[in-house]
C-alpha cells in the first residue's frame, strides 16, 4: 500500500445514470466505508462542520465506533457540506489514485441525488436554484427587489425567513436592470500597442451571477483585456448548474452542460478562448461537467478551452507581457482565494495577478469563507457559516489593508459580514473581485 498524497488527485466519472447510484442500501454501505476511514484519520476535523458532526456521532455512540451510529443520523453530516471540495483537494490523503478511493464531496452529492430520487427534495431550494429565472424577474424590478432583500428591511426579511428559510441577517446579492450581456453590446476596441494584440481573442462566459447580480465584474474584465490588446465578446447561453448540483439535481446539470457547451462551441471554433468570471462556474466547465456528461464532445471541447479570469491574465503576463500602465493601489489588498478556484489546481492565480501591480502590498487568505453558495444564507446554516468563516474574517481584519477582495463574490459578502462582528475591525464597504482591482490600477 502506497502512502497517500504522493500523486495528484484524480476523480472518477459520476455514474449517476446507474440505478445503483441512488440505491439506498448500496449508498449506505459506501457511506459507512468512507466514514470509517474518516473516523480513523480525522485530518479534516477543523475543515467544516460536516466532520465534527460525524465524529461527534461516533464518539457519543454506545461503542464509540461507526457501527453503533444509525444511518438516519447521517443526514445532518451531509447537510453541513457546502461542496467546497477542500477535503478532496487539500486535506484527504486517501483520494484516488489511492486504493481507499475517498471522495466525500461526490459521496454527499450522491446522497442528495438519492434524496431527490426519493422525492425528498426541498421545493424552496429548487426555486432558489432557478437563478436564470430569478435574475430575469428581479432585474425587471431591480430597485424593488434590492429594497426587499436588504438586511435592514424589517418588513420583508422576516417574511423571507418564514417562507423561504433565508436568515434575516444574511447579505444577499443585488440585482441589476441592465445585464452584462446587454451592456456588452457596446464595442470595446483592443489596445493595438499591447504586446498581446492580435494574438488572443476571448469570449467571456457571463455566468448567472456576473450577468444579473454583478455585471461590473464583466465590465472590468473586458476593460483589462482590451487594455492588453485582447478582443472580447460576452456570451451567456445559461447557468452552469452549480445551484442544481448543490441540491443533487445531476440530470438538470447535465442538460445545462449540453446546452451551454453547444452555445459556446461556435466561439471556440472561431478561435476564441472561453473565460468564466466566477470560479465556481469555471470549476463546473473544466472539471464537473466532464465527469457528469463524459460522452459529450462539446463539453470536452469546452473543458479544454475554459479559463478562470485571473488565470488568463497571469498567462498573458507570462506569455506576451502585460500592457504598461498599472499604478500602485494605495492601502494594499487582502485577497481571499476562493475554494472553487483552489479546486481547479491552478495555483493562487488571484494573488499572482494582483502582485503584478507595482508597489502594492498583497496579503493572501487561503481558507474557506464558510458561505457555500445558497447554503450559507439559510436560517439553519447562517450562524454555522459565520463560525466556519471566522478565521477568514479575522485574517482580513488583521491585514489592515484598504481593500478586501475575493474571487467568489458571495464569499466576499460573507467575509464582510464576518468582519462586522469583530470588535474594532475596519470593514470596507465592498469586497470586489480581484479583476476590479486590476482595472482600478489601470485606471480603466
Which strands, in side-by-side order, build the sheet including 403-406? 362-365, 333-336, 403-406
Residue 409 inside a domain? The answer is yes
CB–CB of 34/104 below 8 Å? Answer: yes
Cβ atoms < 10 Å from Cβ of 91: 17
Beta bridge partners, 203, equal 233, 274
C-alpha cell belonging to residue 141: 424590478
> CA geometry: angle at 109 spanning 106 and 111, to 5°?
115
SS3 194: coil
Q: With bands split at pLDDT 50, 70 and 90, how would you rate the model's confidence at 3?
A: low
Phi and psi at residue 191, to the nearest 5°: -70, 115
**Residue that is last in its domain, among 288, 318, 348:** 318
Other Cβ atoms closer than 10 A to 129: 24
- Contact between 243 and 272 (Cβ < 8 Å): no
- Can you give the pLDDT at residue 374? 87
Band of pLDDT at residue 397, cut at 50, 70 and 90: very high
Same domain assignment for residues 335 and 436: yes
Say yes or no: 284 and 333 in one domain.
no
Is the pLDDT at 316 greater than 90, yes or no? Answer: yes
- The pLDDT value given to residue 35: 97
In a domain, 175, yes or no: no
Query: Which residues neighbour 112 within 8 Å (Cβ) at sequence distance 6 or greater?
Result: 78, 246, 247, 248
What is the mean pLDDT of the segment spanning 128-151? 96
Q: Judge if 61 and 143 occupy the same domain.
A: no
Domain end call among 273, 299, 318: 318
| Same-domain check for residues 111 and 128 | no
CATH code of residue 241: 1.20.1050
Number of domains in the chain: 4
Output 424 or 267, whichever has higher pLDDT: 267
- Residues 194, 107: one domain? no
pLDDT score of 46 more than 90: no
Exposure on the CB side of residue 438, measured as CA atoms within 13 A:
34
Whose cell is 467575509? That residue is: 415
Are 257 and 286 in the same domain? yes
Cell 453590446 appears where? Answer: 185
pLDDT of residue 56: 95
In this prediction, residue 232 carries a pLDDT of 97
CB-CB neighbours of 429 under 10 Å: 6
pLDDT, tens only, 241-295: 999 999 999 999 999 999 999 999 999 999 999 999 999 999 999 999 999 999 9
- Over 90: is that where the pLDDT of 6 sits? no
Q: Is the pLDDT at 80 greater than 60, yes or no?
A: yes
Residues 230, 285: one domain? yes
Alpha helices in 343-381 (DSSP H): 349-354
Give residue for cell 502506497: 2
- For all residues of the chain together, what is the average pLDDT? 95
Shared domain check, 153 and 202: no
Regarding whether 193 and 139 lie in a shared domain, the answer is no
Is 172 domain-assigned? no
Average pLDDT over residues 133-156: 97
Predicted pLDDT of residue 104: 97
Same domain flag for 282 and 340: no
Is 2 part of a structural domain of the chain? no
pLDDT at 378 over 80: yes
For residues 106-128, average pLDDT: 93
**Residue 251, domain extent:** 180-318
Q: Which residue, of 289, 318, 347, is where some domain finishes?
A: 318
What are the residues whose beta carbons fall under 8 Å from the beta carbon of 23, sequence distance 6 or more?
114
- Residues 232 and 301 grouped into a single domain: yes
Give the pLDDT confidence of 170-205 residue by residue, as tens digits: 999 999 999 999 999 988 999 999 999 999 999 999
Say how many Å lie between the first and final Cα of the chain, rounded: 55
Determine, yes or no, domain membership for 53.
yes
Q: What is the mean pLDDT of residues 77-92?
A: 91
- Indicate if 307 and 376 belong to the same structural domain: no
Domain assignment of residue 99, yes or no: yes
What is the pLDDT at residue 4? Answer: 61
Q: Which three cell numbers stand for residue 190?
A: 483592443
**Per-residue confidence (pLDDT) for residue 122, from 0 to 100:** 86
Contacts of 98 (CB under 8 A, 6+ apart): 2, 4
Which residue in this structure is represented by grid cell 464537473?
288
Residue 253 placed within a domain: yes
In-domain check, residue 1 = no
For residue 444, how many C-alpha atoms fall within 13 Å in the half-sphere facing its CB?
A: 25
**Cβ density class 382-418: b for 16+ within 10 Å, e for less:** bebbbebbbbbbebbbebebebbbbbbbbbbbbbbbb
- The pLDDT of residue 5: 63
Q: Which residues contact 78 (CB under 8 A, 6 or more apart)?
A: 50, 108, 111, 112
Amino acid at each position: 500500500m502506497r502512502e497517500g498524497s504522493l500523486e495528484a488527485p484524480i476523480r472518477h466519472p459520476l455514474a449517476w445514470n446507474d440505478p445503483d447510484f441512488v440505491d439506498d442500501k448500496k449508498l449506505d454501505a459506501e457511506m459507512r466505508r468512507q466514514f470509517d476511514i474518516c473516523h480513523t484519520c480525522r485530518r479534516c476535523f477543523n475543515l467544516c462542520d460536516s466532520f465534527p458532526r460525524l465524529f461527534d456521532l461516533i464518539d457519543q455512540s454506545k461503542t464509540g465506533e461507526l457501527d453503533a451510529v444509525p444511518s438516519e443520523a447521517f443526514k445532518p453530516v451531509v447537510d453541513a457540506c457546502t461542496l467546497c471540495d477542500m477535503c478532496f483537494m487539500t486535506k484527504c490523503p486517501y483520494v484516488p489514485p489511492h486504493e481507499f478511493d475517498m471522495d466525500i464531496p461526490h459521496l454527499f452529492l450522491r446522497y442528495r441525488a438519492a434524496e431527490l430520487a426519493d422525492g425528498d427534495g426541498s421545493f424552496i431550494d429548487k426555486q432558489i436554484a432557478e437563478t436564470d429565472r430569478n435574475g430575469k424577474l428581479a432585474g425587471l424590478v431591480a430597485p424593488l427587489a434590492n429594497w426587499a432583500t436588504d438586511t435592514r428591511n424589517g418588513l420583508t426579511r422576516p417574511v423571507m425567513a418564514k417562507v423561504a428559510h433565508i436568515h434575516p441577517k444574511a447579505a444577499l446579492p443585488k440585482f441589476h436592470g441592465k445585464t452584462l450581456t446587454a451592456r456588452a453590446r457596446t464595442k470595446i476596441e483592443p489596445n493595438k500597442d499591447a504586446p498581446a494584440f492580435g494574438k488572443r481573442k476571448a469570449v467571456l462566459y457571463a455566468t448567472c451571477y456576473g450577468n444579473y447580480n454583478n455585471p461590473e465584474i464583466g465590465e472590468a474584465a473586458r476593460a483589462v483585456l482590451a487594455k492588453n490588446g485582447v478582443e472580447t465578446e460576452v456570451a451567456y447561453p445559461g447557468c452552469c448548474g452549480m445551484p442544481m448540483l448543490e441540491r443533487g439535481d445531476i440530470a438538470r446539470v447535465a442538460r445545462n452542460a449540453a446546452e451551454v457547451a453547444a452555445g459556446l462551441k461556435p466561439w471556440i471554433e472561431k478561435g476564441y478562448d472561453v473565460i468564466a468570471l466566477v470560479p465556481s462556474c469555471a470549476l463546473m466547465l473544466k472539471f464537473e461537467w466532464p465527469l457528469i456528461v463524459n460522452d459529450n464532445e462539446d463539453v470536452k471541447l469546452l473543458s479544454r478551452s475554459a479559463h478562470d479570469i485571473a488565470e488568463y491574465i497571469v498567462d498573458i503576463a507570462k506569455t506576451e507581457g502585460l500592457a504598461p500602465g498599472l499604478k500602485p493601489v494605495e492601502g494594499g489588498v487582502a485577497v481571499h482565494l476562493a475554494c472553487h478556484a483552489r479546486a481547479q489546481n491552478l495555483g493562487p492565480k488571484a494573488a499572482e495577478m494582483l502582485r503584478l501591480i507595482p508597489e502594492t502590498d498583497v496579503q493572501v487568505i487561503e481558507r474557506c469563507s464558510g458561505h457555500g453558495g445558497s447554503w450559507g444564507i439559510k436560517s439553519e446554516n447562517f450562524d454555522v457559516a459565520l463560525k466556519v468563516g471566522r478565521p477568514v474574517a479575522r485574517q482580513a481584519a488583521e491585514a489592515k489593508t484598504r481593500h478586501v477582495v475575493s474571487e467568489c463574490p458571495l464569499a466576499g459578502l460573507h467575509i464582510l459580514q464576518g468582519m462586522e462582528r469583530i470588535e474594532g475591525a475596519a470593514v470596507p464597504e465592498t469586497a470586489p473581485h480581484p479583476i476590479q482591482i486590476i482595472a482600478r490600477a489601470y485606471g480603466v
